[in-house]
Amino acid sequence: MLEETTDIRFVKGVGEQRAKLFKKLGVETVADLVRLYPRSYRDLTNLRMISECVPGEVCSVRAVVNSTPVGVRVKNGITLYKTEATDGRDVVHLTYFNNRYIPTLLQGGREYIFTGKLNLNRGRYEMLSPVIDNLSSAGRMMPVYPQTAGLTSRVIESVMRNALAVYSPGYETLPESLREKYKLCPLGFAVRNIHFPENAADALAAKKRLMFEELLVLQLGMAKLKNHDRGFTDAVIKTDYTEEFLEKLPFTLTIAQSNAISDGIRDMGLHEPMNRLLQGDVGSGKTCVAAALVYTAAKNGIQSALMAPTGILATQHYRSFLSFFEGTGIRTALLLGSMKAKEKCEIKQKIADGEIDLVIGTHAIIQKDVSFRRLGLVITDEQHRFGVAQRMSLASKGDNPHTLVMSATPIPRTLALIIYGDLDLSVLDELPPGRQTVDTYVVDSSYHERVYAFIRKYLDRGFQAYIVCPLVEESESADYIGAVEYSKKLRSTAFRDYPTGLLHGKMKQSEKDSVMADFVSGKTKLLIATTVIEVGVDVPNAVIMVIEDADRFGLSQLHQLRGRVGRGSEKSSCILISDAKSPAAKKRLEIMKKSNDGFRIADEDLRLRGPGDFFGEKQHGLPALHIADMLDDMVLCNRSAEAAKELLADDPMLEKEENSSLDKEIKALFKDKYIMN
C-alpha cells in the first residue's frame, strides 16, 4: 500500500532516474503524483471508419498497417517514416517524423488505433504523427498528460496506473455539507476517474469536483492572505493634498482616476497598511494616479519607492514622474544598479537623510542596502513580475509600508476578485478622452511580402516597427514561427538594409536590456521578438506591430502587444497574421479588429475561452494550479466563489475542525510559505 506521503521512488516503474524527472515537475510524493492531471483524453469509446471522420478534425480509427515503415532521410536531418493503413474500406496514409521507435511500434499486418487529425488531400486520407494505441485500449478513455521534463505521456500514464492500483486517498478534503450542496463526487472517486475514467461522464464529474476544490482553495488562501494581520504603519496621511496636485496638472482627471486616487488616500489615512491593486488598460493613466498619491505622501513627510521590472522601465517612469512633479518641489531620484558607485552612494545618502521624496528603480531598491528615513509607500509597476509571494515579502519589508500594485492587464471583474483576492481593487475602466485608436488588420500569410513592404515604407520615414512571433525557436513546434530563425531570415531578405534587433525570453537580462536600449534609442529600427516586449515598453516612434501566428495568442495578450504602438502622434497599425481556419479563431481575431477596449476584449476572451486561461497565465503570479487552469465555463467558478464566501463568513481564518483539511490544502497550494497563521 502507498500513502500520501510515500516517496515517488516507491511507486512501481519509478527508478532513481525517473524520480529525478518527476521532481523537476514538483512531484515528490504519491499525493503530488496523483495531482499530475491529464490535460485531455483520447476517447477510444467511439472508434470510427475512416470515411465517417470529418476531415480536419481529430478522430480515432481502427486500421491495419500494410507494412512496417522504414525511415527515409530527407533534408535538414529529418527522417520520415511513412506507411499506409486500412480499415477494410479506405486507406489512410501515415507519416511520422524523426521517431526512430516507429518501426518497432507499427508492424505490418497488425491492427492499431490511430488518433489524430485526419486530412483529406486531393482525395487522399492522411494523418501526420497520429498517436498509436493497441486494440486492447478500444472502448477506453486514455489520459493525455503534458509531456515535460523528458517524461512522455505514456510513461506518466503507466506510473499513474501502478500508483492507483495500490493507492486511493483515504481522506476527504471538502466538508460533507459542501459536497452535498454543490453535488460533488467524493475525492477517491475523483482521483481515480480523472486519470482512468470509464466514460466521458465520469471524467467530467471528476474534473468538476477537482476544479471546484482547487478554485475554492485558491480563493480561501487569497482571503487568508488578505485577512491576516497586516501590521501597523506610522506612515499615516494627515492632510490630503490632491487638489493642490491637480491644479498643476495640464488635464482633467477621468472619473475612474479620481475614484482611484480617493481610494488610495483613504487607505493611507489608516494605520493598517494599504494593500491595493490599480488595474487599468494601457494608457488609462495609472502613472498619474500613482503620482497623486506620492505627492500627498511627500507633503505629509512620507517617502515613496517605485519599482519597475527592468532598468529601462524604471528610467521611463523616472521621466514621466519628473514631468508630473515639475515645479512642485517633490524631489525624485533614479537609482539603478548600472549607475556609478559614487553617484549611487550620493543618492542613497539623500534617501537616508530624507532629502528624496520618491526613489525609482528596480526591485533591488528595497532589497539591498538602501535605508529610508521614512518609507511609507511602495508602488510596483507591471505587477505580473511580482507574484503573490513577492507581494507578501514586500508588505513585510521595513515598517509595513502602504503598497500599491499597478497592472496593465485588464481582467473581467468577477475573475479579478479571485485572482487578486488578496488585494483591494481600484479599476481604471475608461481611457482619457481623445485617445487615438490603433488600426487593426487581420491577414493570412500570403500577405507577408506586402506587410514587409508596408513596414519598410514606415522605416524609410524614420519610424520603427515590431514583429512578434509565438516561439523562440522553431523546433518547439514545427507549425509555428520562431523568432530566432525568423530574424535570421528577415535580416538576409526583406530587411537586409535595416538595423534589426532580436529579443526573446531565453536571453540573459543584460542582453535583453541592451537590445531594448538600442530600440528605444532608435539605433535599431525593427525589433523581432517574442512576447517579452509585452511589458510596459514605451517607444512612441514605433508605429507598426505585426503579430505572426496571431491565433496562438490570447486576446488580452494581443491587446497588450498592440498597446506597444499608438503611443506617439503618428497613426499606428497592428497587423495580425494568421492562417487559422476555424470559425472560433477567426471570431477572436475579428474582436481585435473591432475593439480597442481592454476590458471589453477581456470579457470576450472569457466568454470564448473560459476562465482557465486567466488562471493559467503566469503573469498574475498565482500559485501554480493543477487543474483550474483548464476551466472552460464560468458556472463552476461562480459556484466556488459562493462556497468560499459562505465558508469564510462562518470561519474567516478556517480554524474550525471541519475545515482543517481544506486549510491543509491551502498550505499545499500556496507552498506554505506565503500563508500566515
With CB under 6 A as the contact rule, the residue among 143, 264, 280, 309 that binds ligand ADP is: 280
Which residues in 190-204 are b (16+ Cβ under 10 Å) and which e? bbbbbbbbeeeebbe
Closest residue to ligand ADP, judged by C-beta, is 285
The C-alpha cell of 365 is what?
531598491
The C-alpha cell of 71 is what?
525511415
Cβ atoms of 395 and 233 within 8 Å: the answer is: no
Q: How far is CA 435 from the centre of its chain?
A: 28
Q: How far is the CB of 542 from ligand ADP (least distance, A)?
A: 15
Interface map 621-640 toward ligand ADP (x if CB under 6 A):
--------------------
C-alpha closest to that of 626 among 39, 97, 45 = 39
The stretch near ligand ADP (CB under 6 A) out of 114-122, 207-215, 251-259, 364-372 is 251-259
Cα-only R_g, the chain: 28
The residue count for binding ligand ADP (CB under 6 A) is 14
Q: Identify the three-state secondary structure at position 372.
A: coil
Interface map 386-425 toward ligand ADP (x if CB under 6 A):
----------------------x-----------------
The C-alpha cell of 396 is what?
513585510
Residues 627 and 647: their CA atoms lie apart, in Å, by 22
Decide if residue 251 touches ligand ADP (CB under 6 A): yes
With CB under 6 A as the contact rule, the residue among 36, 253, 261, 576 that binds ligand ADP is: 253
Return left, alpha or beta for 13; rule: phi > 0 is left, psi -120 to 50 is alpha, else beta.
Answer: left
Cβ atoms of 79 and 170 within 8 Å: the answer is: no
The stretch near ligand ADP (CB under 6 A) out of 247-255, 470-478, 479-487, 584-592 is 247-255
H helices of 132-175, in order, are: 153-166
φ, ψ of residue 66 to 5 degrees: the values are: -65, -50
User: Which parts of 161-200 interact with ligand ADP (CB under 6 A)?
Assistant: none
The stretch near ligand ADP (CB under 6 A) out of 124-132, 286-294, 335-343, 651-659 is 286-294
Q: How far is the CB of 257 from ligand ADP (least distance, A)?
A: 6
Nearest to ligand ADP of 97, 251 (CB atom): 251
Decide if residue 313 touches ligand ADP (CB under 6 A): no
The stretch near ligand ADP (CB under 6 A) out of 2-10, 216-224, 246-254, 355-363 is 246-254
Q: How far is the CB of 311 from ligand ADP (least distance, A)?
A: 18
Residues 1 and 12: their CA atoms lie apart, in Å, by 11
The stretch near ligand ADP (CB under 6 A) out of 22-30, 279-287, 457-465, 498-506 is 279-287
Nearest to ligand ADP of 257, 487 (CB atom): 257
Strands (DSSP E) found in 186-336: 275-280, 303-308, 332-335
The C-alpha cell of 186 is what?
467524493
Decide if residue 283 touches ligand ADP (CB under 6 A): yes
Strands (DSSP E) found in 218-331: 275-280, 303-308
Q: Identify the three-state secondary structure at position 343.
A: helix
User: Which parts of 78-107 interact with ligand ADP (CB under 6 A)?
Assistant: none
Decide if residue 308 touches ligand ADP (CB under 6 A): no
User: For residue 113, what are the β-bridge partners?
Assistant: 62, 133
The C-alpha cell of 229 is what?
494581520
The stretch near ligand ADP (CB under 6 A) out of 70-78, 98-106, 278-286, 545-553 is 278-286
Nearest to ligand ADP of 257, 383 (CB atom): 257
Nearest to ligand ADP of 387, 432 (CB atom): 432
Decide if residue 432 touches ligand ADP (CB under 6 A): yes
Decide if residue 568 touches ligand ADP (CB under 6 A): no
Q: What sign for the dihedral angle of Cα 269, 275, 279, 282?
A: positive
Nearest to ligand ADP of 174, 289 (CB atom): 289
With CB under 6 A as the contact rule, the residue among 286, 344, 348, 504 that binds ligand ADP is: 286
With CB under 6 A as the contact rule, the residue among 115, 279, 287, 332 that binds ligand ADP is: 287
- Who's near 379: CB < 8 A, 6+ residues apart? 290, 293, 294, 304, 305, 306, 307, 403, 404, 405, 406
Nearest to ligand ADP of 60, 310 (CB atom): 310
* Chain contacts with ligand ADP (rule: CB under 6 A): 251, 253-254, 257, 280, 282-288, 408, 432
